Amino acid sequence: MTIKPVIPNGFASQLFPTLVTAFAPSDHRPLRVLDLGPASAATVAFFSQYRCTLRFADLNPGELMPPPGDDGEVPDRDAHLRRLLELPLGSKFDICLFWDYLNHLDDEAVRALARVLRPHLHSASRGHGFAVLNRGNALHHQNYGVMAADLLMVTGESRRQPLAHPHSQAGLNGLLGGFEVTRGVLRADGRLEILLRTL
């Protein structure tokens, strides 16, 4: 049996350059990046031009929502997300790469994620991810990486993991306490690429 290598598909981003050009590679202070996805060699290579601390959370979309307890009650979502992220005490991030992960969380879980991240943000923190223009679109989870400031990549799509709770830009603005969506660009597949900033 021959195993085919995973060939990434690159796509141009109008928004990612705005995100990273706010932080110059020549800055004396290290750039701190939180990527919610799995480690990507391309992303590591891209951020190696910066003095950078890069943390991959490697979240599994199927585990983002805590399972109900034996009594049917929903467990503490904040504690569940805190355990998944394992963010070091006192750590602060300049950039958060959300990719598709917000679209696997229901409204209350998005609020919980915002609460968990808030102590790890500062006034100039920025975010990037995807929302949807039409919540009825049948979209599936994708893994992403950064090839260049204006070139992102998709390294794979999981047909077993549809976006369970797709969110619109306006919806996220109402849920992400601490962050707001500042710009959005519609992609051909119905995803809305978004930039976020701290409030």
Say if CB 57 and CB 117 are below 8 A apart.
no
**Weakest-pLDDT range from 18-32, 47-61, 83-97:** 18-32
Half-sphere exposure of 158 (CA within 13 A, CB side): 15
- Quick: pLDDT tens for 166-193: 999 999 999 998 899 999 999 988 899 9
The residue whose two tokens read 């619109």 is 168
**Mean pLDDT rounded to a whole number for the chain:** 90
Q: What is the pLDDT of residue 7?
A: 53
Collapsed DSSP state (helix, strand, coil) of residue 141:
strand
Sequence spans of domains, the chain = 9-59+73-198
99: left (phi > 0), else alpha (psi -120 to 50), else beta? left
**Does the structural domain 9-59+73-198 have CATH classification 3.40.50.150?**
yes
Confidence band for 2, pLDDT divided at 50, 70 and 90: very low
Q: How far is CA 111 from CA 30, 72, 105, 150, 197, in A?
A: 29, 21, 9, 30, 16
Structure tokens at 10: 């690159």
Q: What is the pLDDT of residue 29?
A: 82
**Weakest-pLDDT range from 47-61, 90-104, 107-121, 127-141:** 127-141
Confidence band for 164, pLDDT divided at 50, 70 and 90: very high
Mean pLDDT of the region 137-143: 89
* Residues with Cβ within 8 Å of residue 130, at least 6 apart in sequence: 98, 99, 100, 102, 103, 191, 192, 193, 194
Is the pTM higher than 0.85? The answer reads yes
Measured in residues, the chain has a length of: 199
Confidence band for 9, pLDDT divided at 50, 70 and 90: confident
Mean pLDDT of the region 146-153: 95
Strands, sheet with 179-186, edge to edge from the N-terminal-most edge strand: 52-56, 31-35, 95-99, 126-132, 191-198, 179-186
Q: What is the pLDDT of residue 117?
A: 97
Say if CB 163 and CB 136 are below 8 A apart.
no
Distance CA 186, CA 132 (A): 8
Distance CA 19, CA 26 (A): 16
Q: What is the pLDDT of residue 134?
A: 81
Confidence band for 70, pLDDT divided at 50, 70 and 90: confident
Mean pLDDT of the region 156-172: 89
- Quick: pLDDT tens for 22-49: 887 777 789 999 999 999 999 999 999 9
